[in-house]
Amino acid sequence: MDHEQTSSGSSDVVPTSSARHARITDVAKLAGVSMKTVSRVVNGEAGVLPGTRDRVLAAVAELGFVPDSRARSLKRGGTDTIGILIDAISDPFFAALVSVVEELALERGLSVLFASTGYDGRREREQLARLTGDRLRGLILAPVDVTTPELTALRRRFPVVCVDRAREGIDSVVVDDFGATVQAVRAFVAHGHRRIAFIGEHTPYPTVATRLEGYRAALDEAGITFDQSLVVEQGRHREERSLTELLRRPDAPTAVFSATSPATIAVINTISAEHLRMPALISFGDFEFADVFTPGITCVDQDPRLIGQATFRRLLDLVDDAAAEPEHVVVPTHLITRGSGELAPDDDLPAPIGALR
């Protein structure tokens, strides 16, 4: 994390004379106690031994640590728990995002309660009922089927921030799905590709549909006629035969834009299992081991750390002002070039999975 990101809201202190801001983790390390103990001391809570309290206060003074007043406000009301509702912890993007939010919460002595929707609207509402039955001080969720009126009712009880997908009238933190996809397809065109496939997923979310719109817009911009046969939707829990058929065609696409990281993994698995020619490939979303393939997988980086920081920061903002007008925060993305997206139409390289064997 660089200094600019830390000072923009992910830290819980004010500037000191040190090179960077002191954090609750620094105080805990110097005093030889847990972050929870530091939080109890600085918040004036009982149950800490006098000697321990003195060590913590000495560390606070030495480091110039100042607690975040917004985090302290977040804890007022008898609970220090933030709820997080996501699709699935197995999704690389959400696994990383949850880790970031948990890290930021723990630094402030806050607890985190997780739940998953399994991409199902009914399960989403069941999980929401379980989460919000507890005395939450804030909720972060990636909405599936829940509506604006439902979230508005929850927002009257505690701050609510949507992540990855938006709901009208509710605070949200997202990326520019349309613009990032246009950038990726333009990169293919710049390398001479004309037959560019789009691999999406069967999902109820607008994100994949918006990326498909960006794909079509970039083709139109380049004067390339849209071909529906080059669009394949992947199931989340099985590989579709249509993907194999697409990549085996005599006129197979020379480039593939994959709209999600799970779909990208399905493409790589198919290429490897079927011993197919490696097309140029760009993934929307990075994932573990993407850089160890040959060539490495080029991706649109929707950085879960930046998104998690922005989401948590917005949650704290709403603690300061619960009546604030909803904000739609767009976190920037960038294209990470590793080789797969830069292949020319006439390049002939082995399946990337071969690099791991």
* Whole-number Å distance between alpha carbons of 317 and 320: 5
Look at residue 240 in the predicted model and tell me its pLDDT: 58
Measure the CA–CA gap between 150 and 102, rounded to whole angstroms: 25
**Tokens read off for 81:** 């728990």
- Residue 192 falls in which region: left (phi positive, over 0), alpha (psi -120 to 50) or beta: left
Question: Cα(95)–Cα(88) distance, rounded to whole angstroms?
Answer: 8
280-284: strand order across its sheet: 231-234, 196-201, 255-258, 280-284, 298-301, 334-336
As a CATH number, domain 177-303+336-356 is 3.40.50.2300
By three-state DSSP, how is residue 313 classified? helix
Question: Taking a C-beta distance cutoff of 8 angstroms, is the pair 137, 271 a contact?
Answer: no
Look up residue 288 and give its amino acid: E
In DSSP terms, 255 is beta-bridged to 196, 280
The total of other beta-carbon atoms located within 10 Å of residue 54's CB is: 13
Strands (E), the chain: 81-86, 111-116, 138-141, 160-163, 171-175, 196-201, 231-234, 255-258, 280-284, 298-301, 328-331, 334-336
- Evaluate the CA torsion angle 119, 293, 347, 243 in order and state its sign: negative
Sheet containing 160-163, strands listed edge to edge, beginning at the edge strand earlier in sequence:
111-116, 81-86, 138-141, 160-163, 171-175, 328-331
Q: What is residue 10's predicted lDDT score, i.e. its pLDDT? A: 33
Domain residue spans of the chain: 3-67, 80-174+304-330, 177-303+336-356
- Equal fold, 3-67 vs 80-174+304-330: no
CATH code linked to domain 80-174+304-330: 3.40.50.2300
CB 247 within 8 A of CB 272: no
Q: What is the pLDDT of residue 49?
A: 87
pTM of the model: 0.73
Fold of 3-67: 434 Repressor (Amino-terminal Domain) (1.10.260)
pLDDT by residue, tens only, the chain of 357 residues: 333 333 333 333 333 333 356 778 888 889 999 887 887 787 767 778 888 888 988 888 788 776 665 555 555 544 688 999 999 988 888 999 999 999 999 888 888 999 999 889 999 999 999 888 777 889 999 999 999 999 999 998 899 999 999 999 999 999 999 999 999 999 999 999 999 999 987 776 789 999 999 999 999 999 999 999 999 986 654 445 788 899 999 999 999 999 998 889 889 989 998 888 889 999 999 988 899 998 999 999 999 999 999 999 999 899 778 888 999 999 999 999 999 999 999 865 555 555 443
